[in-house]
Amino acid sequence: MIADPEERSVVIPAAAVAVNALLYGAVGWLVWFGLNRRRLVLPVVAVGVLAGWYALLRWYVGA
């Protein structure tokens, strides 16, 4: 709701919910993928998820 302080738009919260669902779905799928394969794959998936979050954070703050 920060992007729409007057809370007049329905699109902003709907987009936030959709993106949140996609993000958690992707992370859940990656964890499931890592757990259902060889145990070596799980650390690779974990490092990939952490690297993605780090890159997204750096992009968001503009560094």
* 13-58 residue pLDDT tens: 788 888 889 988 988 887 787 777 777 777 877 788 889 888 888 8
Q: Are 34 and 42 in contact (CB under 8 A)?
A: yes
Q: Is the pLDDT of residue 3 over 50?
A: yes
Q: Identify the domain containing residue 51 by its residue range.
A: 11-61
Alpha-carbon distance of 34 to 57, in angstroms, equals 23
- Domain-embedded: residue 48: yes
Alpha-carbon distance of 48 to 36, in angstroms, equals 17
- Domain-embedded: residue 1: no
**What pLDDT does 2 receive?**
58
**What pLDDT does 26 receive?**
83
- Domain-embedded: residue 54: yes
**What pLDDT does 1 receive?**
47
Domain count within the chain? 1
Question: C-alpha distances in angstroms, 30 versus 37, 43, 59, 63?
Answer: 11, 11, 22, 27
- Domain-embedded: residue 53: yes
